[in-house]
């Protein structure tokens, strides 16, 4: 029934546009009563994002059972990849929805509120994990925003391309920037353990990159 409504809605939306389609049009095409539409979707916009409620629940569950000793940034990145998998699972549907949200302001706004819920979920997880830090809440909000931005950057590029190429790899690459910057692996905020302010790394030209990184890492985070 939900599926029938979604299918009918997208058929009409792609044919004559979102605003030119009334709820009555949708329900008459789906063969159900108008009242039932609003039983399944709180608004006309919500029918465009039918699977995000479940995905948000999945994300919450994933973060709740996350390892309390692992890198929290990596964990929220994994949570973000959950959303990506949902998009990548239905490329045609995702691309069609992107075309729609791109030009209908109302849908763009609604998408923002959907994304906002994801972001708050990520931030909430980070806040508990960073509770010990003085600036924990701020870091949590900033990192959550960065993760969402990186995820959406790669996702949107893929959607713009019509669903071609490897989204997973693109998102991994984008998220890597955030992990490198904020994750446990990044050298930051550990100056108090040593009294030296400067680290000098000496390498012969031609040294393999991994060996250089190894040396720098060892020096920066003892």
Which option in DNA, a copy of itself, none does residue 128 bind, with CB closer than 5 to 8 A by kind?
none
Which option in DNA, a copy of itself, none does residue 68 bind, with CB closer than 5 to 8 A by kind?
none
Least distance from C-beta 103 to a copy of itself, angstroms? 15
Can you tell me which of 35, 64, 132, 202 binds a copy of itself, judged by CB under 8 A? 202
Q: Applying CB under 7 A, does 137 fall inside the site for DNA?
A: no
Written as six digits, the tokens of 68 are 């309390």
Which option in DNA, a copy of itself, none does residue 190 bind, with CB closer than 5 to 8 A by kind?
a copy of itself
Select 21 or 152, whichever has its Cβ closest to DNA. Answer: 21
Select 32 or 142, whichever has its Cβ closest to a copy of itself. Answer: 142
Give the span between the Cα atoms of 141 and 19, in whole angstroms.
35
| Sign, Cα dihedral of 184, 186, 187, 192 | negative
> Residue 148's CB: how many other CB atoms inside 10 A?
20
Q: How many Cα atoms occupy the beta-carbon half-sphere of 221 within 13 Å?
A: 10
Q: Applying CB under 8 A, does 25 fall inside the site for a copy of itself?
A: no
2 conformational bin, left if phi > 0, alpha if psi -120 to 50, beta if neither: alpha
Write the CA distances from 178 to 100, 106, 171, 188, 198, integer angstroms: 29, 30, 11, 13, 24
Q: Applying CB under 7 A, does 38 fall inside the site for DNA?
A: yes
Can you tell me which of 32, 142, 168, 172 binds a copy of itself, judged by CB under 8 A? 142
Can you tell me which of 7, 17, 22, 162 binds DNA, judged by CB under 7 A? 22
Helix residue ranges, H only, 65-195:
72-89, 91-103, 105-129, 136-160, 167-182
Contact positions vs a copy of itself (CB under 8 A) = 108-110, 112-113, 116, 135, 137-139, 141-142, 144-146, 148-150, 152-154, 174, 177-178, 180-182, 185-191, 194, 196-210, 212-213, 216-217, 220
């Amino acid at each position: 029934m939900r599926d029938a409504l979604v299918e009918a809605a997208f058929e009409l939306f792609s044919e004559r546009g979102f605003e030119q389609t009334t709820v009555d049009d949708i329900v008459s095409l789906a063969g159900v009563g108008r009242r039932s539409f609003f039983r399944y979707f709180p608004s006309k916009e919500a029918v465009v994002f039918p699977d995000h409620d479940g995905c948000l629940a999945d994300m919450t569950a994933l973060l709740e059972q996350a390892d309390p000793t692992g890198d929290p940034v990596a964990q929220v990145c994994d949570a973000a990849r959950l959303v990506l998998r949902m998009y990548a699972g239905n490329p045609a549907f995702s691309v069609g929805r992107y075309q729609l949200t791109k030009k209908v302001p109302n849908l763009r706004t609604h998408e923002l509120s959907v994304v906002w819920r994801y972001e708050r979920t990520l931030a909430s997880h980070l806040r508990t994990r960073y509770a010990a830090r003085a600036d924990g809440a701020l870091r949590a909000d900033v990192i959550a925003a960065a993760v969402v931005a990186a995820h959406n950057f790669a996702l949107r590029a893929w959607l713009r391309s019509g669903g071609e190429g490897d989204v997973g790899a693109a998102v991994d690459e984008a998220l890597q920037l955030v992990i490198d910057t904020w994750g446990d692996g990044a050298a930051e905020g550990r100056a108090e353990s040593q009294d030296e302010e400067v680290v000098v790394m000496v390498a012969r030209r031609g040294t393999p990159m991994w060996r250089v990184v190894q040396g720098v890492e060892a020096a920066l985070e003892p």
